[in-house]
Structure 1
Amino acid sequence: MPLYDPYCGPAPVPSELWTSWNLDPWLISGMLLSVAAYALAARTSSKTGPREIICFTCGWLVLAVLYVSPFCALTSALFSARVAHHVITIAIAAPLIVLGCPFLARSRRTSNGHGIVFIVQMATIWIWHAPAPYAAALGSHGVFWLMQASLLGTAILFWGTLPLRQAALPSLLPLLGNVAQMGLLGALITFAPAPLYEPHLGTTAAWHLSPLEDQQVAGLIMWIPAAIPYVLAALLIVGASLDGPSLSRRREGAA
């Protein structure tokens, strides 16, 4: 089995986890620069209010937990932790960042390219969870950051082009499409008869999991919990579409 050099460090055992912080100065500098850039943009934008600042801050903190805390090291040991890392990135951090950036919110209201963006995001998710590209990302820091940047970038594009101000159906289709495609990928991973991800063949025993059990947990995470943010967003859109006509009727009645 080839040697791997995960960006998040060697796979820890349970007793070492809470000392396995990622203090990469390049990462920390980049995250601090992103805060400074956002603060500068917020000061010059009349559309950046407390709600947007809170959303961006929450998204930034989620990314900090994913990349700086010991959770990053855990992804070197467990494929299930890596899948959770990816799901949180694309389904929690990305929409929070979009909500926190007014210029992304504007593109969300006007864009007609959500179908193309959905296809690009789906391809990105499937490519990086195929065994060979995944192994390449754990063997090279450069490929690792290509994986992370493409997953986060396409997720920001997806949430940023979601047409929330249009009729419910165009908004629901890409959301439900993500539920379906991630569910299918999760099912394929869950029911695979053998371990598929070579970097984790020797890293799961300390966590009392076989590689196949770890892979099955990962598949279930992709299959079920990953769908929750998309379903919630779909319910919010349906609720807004139902409230719109009733609000218009109330205004007409008052007039």
Structure 2
Amino acid sequence: MTSYCGAPPDPADLMRSWNLDPILLLALGAGALVAWRSRHPKPALAAIGVLALAFVSPLCALSVSLFSARAVHHLLVVAVAAPLLAMAFTARRPMLPGLAFVVATAVLWAWHLPSFYDAALAGTALYWLMQATLLASAFWFWQAMFAAPPVTGVLMAILGMAQMGMLGALLTFATTPLYATHIGTTLPWGLDQVVDQQLAGLVMWVPGIVPYALAVAVLARRTWARAAAAA
């Protein structure tokens, strides 16, 4: 079985490696229609655009070769598209923020276990199960964070930043190859597998925490504004 995104591409062919799966394109089109008709169309449409970048652009194919590209792919899903969707489709009732954090963290870390990761990249069904659970759990996390009281929301953002940074650090300092899927696939790109793996860790550790840090800043400012207004 091969990955949903195809075989590892040759560097010379990467820019021709667009994913034009008609089912995917129809799903994104339907999502764009729902987004356009939503109460907050701008963040919703932006989220669809991010998902198109992740799944239609050559990034999809590149992520078969490079684990660092897969890290970028996952961040686009869980830390860019998911919060945009959460801003577009706000919660109208409490969303169990503690449970949302635990579930989103467990899902993200589980799919980075070597056995689960390798299995997901070996076939279409598990690949889409990985993507669906990552997006759904991250959407729940961000939606719960935005709906929570400001102090709780700030705490959730800090915890989200901490777990993302911790996962990135573990990958950065790993000195042995973890993922059988990428044995040999990094070499055409001039990268040793461990170097690519460490680069993926840095992607998650540094830029990966930026959306959570921005959320901390926004929620902290909101808390300060409310306290000032009350005073």
> Is the structural similarity TM-score above 0.5?
yes
- Structure 1 residue 29, shift from structure 2 partner: 1.1
| 8 Å CA contact 1:8, 1:73 repeated in 2 | yes
- Structure 1 residue 194, shift from structure 2 partner: 0.5
Unaligned runs of 5+ in 2: none
Q: CA RMSD in A?
A: 1.4
Partner residue of 2:79?
91
Partner residue of 2:128?
145
- Structure 1 residue 186, shift from structure 2 partner: 1.1
| 8 Å CA contact 2:95, 2:143 repeated in 1 | no
Partner residue of 2:199?
217
Partner residue of 1:201?
183
> What is the aligned counterpart of 2:29 among 18, 32, 41?
32
> What is the aligned counterpart of 1:242 among 221, 224, 228?
224
User: TM-score of the superposition, structure 1-length normalised?
Assistant: 0.87
- Structure 1 residue 245, shift from structure 2 partner: 2.7
> What is the aligned counterpart of 1:55 among 32, 43, 64?
43
> What is the aligned counterpart of 1:123 among 98, 101, 106?
106
Deviations 1:86-120, CA, capped at 9 Å, x for gaps: 0111111111112122xxx133xx31500001000
- Distance, in Å, in 2 between the alignment partners of 1:30 and 1:112 is 27
The runs of at least 4 consecutive aligned structure 1 residues that moved more than 6 Å come to: none
- Distance, in Å, in 2 between the alignment partners of 1:227 and 1:29 is 32
| 8 Å CA contact 1:163, 1:170 repeated in 2 | no
Deviations 1:153-178, CA, capped at 9 Å, x for gaps: 00111111115562x32111211111
Partner residue of 1:155?
138
- Distance, in Å, in 2 between the alignment partners of 1:223 and 1:10 is 28
Q: Secondary structure at the match of 2:175?
A: coil
Give the total of aligned pairs.
231
Q: Secondary structure at the match of 1:34?
A: helix
- Structure 1 residue 33, shift from structure 2 partner: 1.7
User: TM-score of the superposition, structure 2-length normalised?
Assistant: 0.95
| 8 Å CA contact 2:35, 2:45 repeated in 1 | no
| Greater mean alpha carbon deviation, residues 216-225 or residues 141-150 | 216-225
- Distance, in Å, in 1 between the alignment partners of 2:147 and 2:35 is 24
Q: Pick the structure with greater CA Rg.
A: 1
| 8 Å CA contact 2:8, 2:64 repeated in 1 | yes
| 8 Å CA contact 1:22, 1:70 repeated in 2 | yes
Deviations 1:136-168, CA, capped at 9 Å, x for gaps: 0011110000000000000111111115562x3
- Distance, in Å, in 1 between the alignment partners of 2:95 and 2:59 is 37
Partner residue of 1:70?
58
Partner residue of 1:253?
none
- Structure 1 residue 224, shift from structure 2 partner: 1.4
Q: Secondary structure at the match of 1:181?
A: helix
- Distance, in Å, in 2 between the alignment partners of 1:65 and 1:90 is 14
- Distance, in Å, in 2 between the alignment partners of 1:145 and 1:225 is 25
% identical equivalent positions: 39
Unaligned runs of 5+ in 1: 43-47, 250-255
- Distance, in Å, in 1 between the alignment partners of 2:83 and 2:121 is 26
- Distance, in Å, in 2 between the alignment partners of 1:112 and 1:82 is 29
Amino acid at match of 1:130: L
- Distance, in Å, in 1 between the alignment partners of 2:227 and 2:17 is 53
| 8 Å CA contact 1:98, 1:159 repeated in 2 | yes
